[in-house]
A and B are shown apart, each in its own frame.
Chain A
Amino acid sequence: MDSQRLKNLGSKLRDRLRGKPRLAVSDTGPTFASPEGHAATFPGPSEIGLDTYPPVDTWDHWSEHDARAWPKQLERSYALVPTTCFNCESACGLLAYIDKETDQIRKIEGNPLHPGSRGRNCAKGPATLNQLTDPDRILHPLKRSGKRGEGKWQRVSWDEALDDIAARIRKDITATGGRGVVYHVGRPGEDSFTNRVLQAWGVDGHNSHTNICSSNARAGYTFWMGMDRPSPDFSEADFILLVSAHLESGHYFNPHAQRIVEARARGAKVAAFDPRLSNTASGADIWLPSYPGSEAAVLLAIANYLIQNELYDRDFVRNWWNWEQYLTDEHPELEPTFETFERLLGDLYQDYSFAFAATESGVRQDRIEEVARLVARSGKRFSSYNWRAAGAGNEGGWQVARCLMLLHALTGSIGTDGGLWPNSWNKFVPTPPHPAPGPKWWQDLHISEEYPLAFFEMSFLLPHFLKEGRGKLEVYFTRVYNPVWTNPDGFSWLEALTDEEKVGCHIALTPTWSETAWFADYVLPMGHATERHDLQSQETSRAQWIGFRQPVMREYFERNGKPFSDTRDVNPGEVWEENEFWLELSWRIDPDNALDIRRSFEKPDHPGEKMTVDDYYRHIFEQSVPGLPEASAAEGLTPLQYMRRYGAFEVTREPSAKYLEPVEQEELEDPTVRSGLVYSRSSKSGYGPQADPDPEGRKAIGVEVGGTVRRGWPTPSGKLEFYSTTLRDWGWPEYALPTYIKSHVHPDNLRAGEMVLLPNFRLPVQIHTRSANSKWLDEIAHTNPLWIHPKKARELAVITGDLVRVSTRIGYFVVKAWVTEGIRPDIVACSHHFGRWRLDADRGGNRALSNVVGLDQQGSEWSMRKQRGVTPFSSSDPDTDRIWWSDVGVHQNITFEVHPDPISGMHCWHQAVRIEKARPDDRHGDVGVDTEQAHNSFHEWLAKTRKASRYSPDGTRRPYWLPRPLKPSRDAYRLPETGTSEDKVMSDE
């Protein structure tokens, strides 16, 4: 019967059936209520309709049907224990469902009590379960038994490993103060614990991954406001500008995306810069497919529009910019009034027209104009986000953050409803017990004299520094850090790690094998998100909270009165956690407190007794988290019990816009005012200007604005630094104001035949090396073809699936093409997640997501060839027999030369490459690199720097006010007396 006949029939029947009662079905409405009928809104900070979550009072005895037994109704009983996700840095809340019959974790879902994630998680959260049952995970401490990298391992006891490592550290601390001890962390996933350990050891031993990640963004934000990270109030914004694919895959995308979606539901508009038609770009109201590195030009054109049309907040600019300093220092001949400054401001950016921005970026001018109007219209409800992407890709990319901040500083949309909040106003870091002072010396391998303004340690240059004989590592910890694979120029890392003259003892602290762990002396298994303690707070929204990661089986044992002595007793195999490891190691380094180290690891209330993790966190939760003791007491719990039970605590939902806070009268002891800064003899320390003390020793405590002393900004001027005297004084006066720097991949800087490779975009289900051991995630995303526009593909005569050779300046890789119109014709792109490899068929990597490869070295020329892709295999997990994918991508980062930005120290990820159809002998996954050429490239970029020994205005290595994760003592900042006076640039030069 055709549809017309059906329609006629339906109409006829409708008339006849009108008013007739139903047979059996009635509409009660879509309530989505559980059979138990509990509240439609989950109680707690999330305040959203998560009624499908088990109510808190059932967390000890939650029953539900086993999904795998469907359609049978097999009831299982669970204990629910919260923890914090460890698959990225958002620290979202998780709930582990522990089967009471088998004592096993059967699934992991979101924790609805967590203020940041509010019960919602991205795919990586629940996939933690895969990491726990991963057949390739490391379950026992291993020690190298052959040559380094040879792949011969023997099981050792924790005691043996601890004693050996402790003896080595003790020896180095005794001999050199610990100059050979380095802890290199991929992602901290915690606040304070490990830094406190290193401080207690007295070593400047913290090295991080920051400058392959976010140095440019941090630099751009810090030079403006003294805080290095944005924390937008997305949910209240009217206009959101994303300088990346942040909505779908950026840092913090889960907690941010849910709030951006809330804003959009209210009618907020979203614009996104992205050279790819990412899901974020396709979902945005306005897509700005800018040429990589041109973003700052677009932002300055928007700033110019605001300035020329007087659409900025004059009072905010007048009160909170350091314009007076700019006039005094740069235009002493002019009358120092705000009107003078406004006149100059109108001139400064007049060349940044919309037409210029359109030409430079390739984005249609009308779209840029529309974004400018939306910025102006949204005023104080303008939010933005910039972290990696454009910032991380380009030399001078720190100006992207600086120019973006210019828009916020013009509109006054900082610390407002719907505006941009600095990280430290929204993040709460409690004080640990026994805080130790910073190290008394400076590790040149971390921040060398070439990079006085770097954010932070020049971690990815370490192999080159070692190659030049700048130092030696006696004990080198890599912790969830895989530089051989993640960093650029991995073969140089491989050369350094295999040279025992450069790296004495390498200890990999890791839950799983990695390319780097293979070249370690010890591989020590550390727990996943449900197997370890950490305390973490993140600025994921306008609120302050703490999240507690904990070994959930330990809490389960505790609740059920089952005995255990430490976390190893509840974890699989001999898997441990770092907290207890560091406590034990520190105790063994200094068993008699002869080095004054052990003291920091004694119980706070029982000196002489070894501190436990319970002691550590009990102290923090009882002593330094406002409101937690009261909230715990209301439930009849201790603060530690409260955190173990609920996993998170909201410190405040109304953080303060600190710059406006008035300084209390009692803090103003014998005050003086110099250049707007207010100095006091008060000993109280905390948030405030970062100026040096006045000649009488008073401390800068605030700024005077409109007759009131307010806290101001943590910068040298106490104001927002439109004009950075730091950049001026340390050799970069041309960049003292926000400006546009042409990237190293700007068309002017490319050689003939080169184009840009965008190698740093993410996929939402993977995070670097951490998520690889999750079969669900691997099944969703496992390879990284090269995105090529059809126009370029026609030029190369390639179609999707063909092999292409991508040549960087130090090597090449061979990858499959994916021809798509979702990318600009003048760039190619390749996701950085894939191309994992191992050297042994059975060990050394995740078999579901790594190729078996062979390496060959001829002098400085290295090559890698894939011997086998992924194949199904039998293991304790029957799913590994069902693996259907074989192509797990190509390792591209290893072919990249290092590109340290001369100011921020950021590795600028974008690559100038040549693309050609694969050569006859090329095979998918082939890689070739010349490490001598890589070292030459290092020197080419080193030549761009301006050394502290030549440019430092005060004989120090680095401006003291700039942050460092672990700040040495002030004396350690003094430069050694080695330079000649001729080398020194005088301050008036």
Chain B
Amino acid sequence: MSLESYAALYQFLARAYLRPPDSEFLELAAEIPELRCRLDGDLGQRHSQLFDFNVYPYASVFLDPSGMLNAPWSSFVGGVYRALGLEVDLKTGVAAQDHLSIELEALATLLERQANAQMDLEIFRAQHAQHTLLIEHLLPWLPAFTEAVRRIDRGFYAAVARLTQDTVLAHATEVVGDRPINPFSFPTAEEPLELPSVGRKGRGIARAELQALLSPARSGLYLSRNDITRLGQALELPVRFAERAFMLESLIGSAAERGDLGQLFGQLGRVASGQKRTYRAWQRRAPVLAPLWNSWLDKLGETASLLGQLAEEHLR
């Protein structure tokens, strides 16, 4: 596929995630049959529900041990842009440079740089920069992000997520070729994930442990507010809308009162196992990229096992 075609796809996808759709964007989207049929409904509200409240499109949320927005990972990505000769204007409304739209537009820019290059060395450097952005930055968190979107939305944004996946995998497969890639490693967390207080009476509030559980770089697990709400709904437990750690804490408290902790932890464990299937599917689809997601699988396996132990304890 031509460099310009990839660049155009990335530019379009960057616009899709950056802000709610305007008329110009909707005209563009109407050019795409897979999206055209999903343009109904209040897409502005959907955008806000998804990306302002549930699935934050920032790499640091998925890759930084804090699981927080604007964490050290964000600055790290900023440094990478500088090193690659890319300048980011934050006045466009993103909160940090590791926003998905910026990463996608950065790829578009590098593809155009490659298309305009005259010398072999320039071409090589532009390709290498794409390789770096794809392998070390975008692809490690893209499966978690797109699947979290698709768990919530089955319409327009699910299709956008699917198009993102197809585009990035096709491009990355071309860029990598048959050269083996290095596995992705999360930045080292201070401590391994442990949940000794979660669900135990008299052990105090386990907020820090829950925050770790909600940090993908610690647990491998991404739980949106919507995911937590659905957990509660499945067990017919009340769910409060708040910060995710508080929501989860509240849900655990309700389950404890009702004697449903075993079921709740069991459900959570199944969510972790379900997310493992996502990574396996990506690995099957792009075997050359498979090492990227081994560490996610490891973390999810450990988390599922921890949750399984908790479920067993409470079911006894």
Contacts and interface: CB of A to CB of B under 8 A. Distances in A.
Interface of A: 1, 3, 6-7, 9-14, 16-17, 20, 22-32, 35, 70-73
A24 B106 CA distance: 9
A879 to B, nearest CB: 15
Given A14-B4, A25-B106, A70-B76, A1 B166 contact: yes
B1 A10 contact: yes
Contact of B9 (A6, A26, A32, A70): A6
Nearest to A22: B105
A24 B94 contact: yes
A24 B91 CA distance: 8
25 contacts: A6-B1, A6-B5, A6-B9, A6-B166, A6-B167, A7-B1, A9-B5, A9-B32, A10-B2, A10-B7, A11-B8, A16-B8, A20-B11, A23-B92, A23-B101, A24-B88, A24-B90, A24-B94, A25-B109, A26-B87, A26-B109, A28-B85, A29-B85, A70-B76, A71-B73
Interface string B106-132: 101100110000000000010001000
A73 B71 CA distance: 11
Contact of B105 (A13, A24, A32): A24
B31 interface: yes
Of B9, B102, B109, the most chain A CB neighbours within 10 A belong to: B9
A952 B81 CA distance: 73
A20 B163 CA distance: 21
Contact of A27 (B76, B85, B94, B163): B85
Contacts of B7: 10, 14
Contact of B187 (A23, A24, A26, A70): A70
A74 to B, nearest CB: 10
Given A24-B102, A26-B109, A73-B72, A11 B90 contact: no
Contacts, number: 114
Contact of B129 (A9, A16, A30): A30
Given A25-B89, A25-B102, 13 more contacts: A1-B162, A9-B5, A10-B4, A10-B8, A12-B31, A13-B8, A14-B5, A24-B89, A25-B105, A25-B109, A27-B85, A27-B87, A27-B113
Contacts of A25: 81, 86-89, 102, 105-106, 108-109
B85 A31 contact: yes
Contacts of B112: 27
Nearest to B75: A73
Nearest to A20: B11
For A13, A20, A35, A73, which residue has the most chain B Cβ atoms within 10 angstroms? A13
B83 A32 contact: yes
B222 interface: no
B40 to A, nearest CB: 21
B163 A7 contact: no
B92 A24 contact: yes
A13 B31 contact: yes
B3 to A, nearest CB: 10
B170 interface: yes
Contacts of B1: 3, 6-7, 10
A27 B87 CA distance: 6
A17 B28 contact: yes
B6 interface: yes
A71 B105 contact: no
Interface of B: 1-2, 4-9, 11-12, 14-15, 18, 27-28, 31-32, 34, 64, 71-73, 75-76, 81-90, 92, 94, 101-102, 105-106, 108-109, 112-113, 125, 129, 162-163, 166-167, 170, 187
A24 B101 contact: yes
Contacts of A12: 31-32
A30 B88 contact: no
Nearest to B13: A13
Contacts of A13: 5, 8-9, 11-12, 28, 31-32
Contacts of B89: 24-26
B167 A16 contact: no
B57 to A, nearest CB: 13
B300 to A, nearest CB: 21
B13 to A, nearest CB: 10
Contacts of A24: 88-90, 92, 94, 101-102, 105
A16 B102 contact: no
Contacts of B81: 25
A546 to B, nearest CB: 34
Contacts of B101: 23-24
Nearest to A31: B85
Given A7-B5, A24-B105, A25-B106, A30 B92 contact: no
A13 B25 CA distance: 11
Given A22-B109, A71-B64, A71-B72, A27 B5 contact: no
A420 B86 CA distance: 45
Given A23-B14, A24-B90, A30-B84, A14 B125 contact: no
A29 B7 CA distance: 17
A30 B7 CA distance: 18
B45 to A, nearest CB: 22
B19 to A, nearest CB: 9
A19 to B, nearest CB: 12
A523 B188 CA distance: 42
Contact of B163 (A1, A28, A32): A1
Contacts of B73: 71
Closest 6 CB pairs of A and B: A10-B5, A14-B8, A13-B8, A30-B85, A71-B72, A1-B166
Contacts of B87: 25-28
A393 B105 CA distance: 58
A91 B182 CA distance: 34
Contacts of B90: 24
A1 B164 CA distance: 10
A28 B88 CA distance: 10
B100 to A, nearest CB: 12
Contacts of B105: 22-25
A27 B86 contact: yes
A895 B64 CA distance: 56
Contacts of A14: 4-5, 7-8
Contacts of B14: 23
Which of A1, A25, A70 gathers most chain B CB within 10 Å? A25
A30 B72 contact: no
B187 A17 contact: no
Contacts of A23: 14-15, 18, 92, 101-102, 105
B170 to A, nearest CB: 5
Contacts of B88: 24-25
A26 B129 CA distance: 15
Contacts of B170: 3, 6
B64 to A, nearest CB: 7
A72 B187 CA distance: 9
A3 B76 CA distance: 32
A29 B126 CA distance: 10
Contact of B34 (A1, A26, A71): A1
B31 A11 contact: no
B109 A71 contact: no
B69 to A, nearest CB: 14
B31 A71 contact: no
A7 B129 CA distance: 22
Nearest to B110: A27
Contacts of B18: 23
Given A1-B166, A3-B1, A70-B187, A26 B31 contact: no
Contacts of B34: 1
A26 B4 contact: no
Contact of A28 (B6, B86, B166): B86
B93 to A, nearest CB: 9
A71 B68 CA distance: 13
A12 B12 CA distance: 11
A17 B12 contact: yes
A14 B10 CA distance: 10
Contacts of B84: 30
Contacts of B11: 13, 17, 20
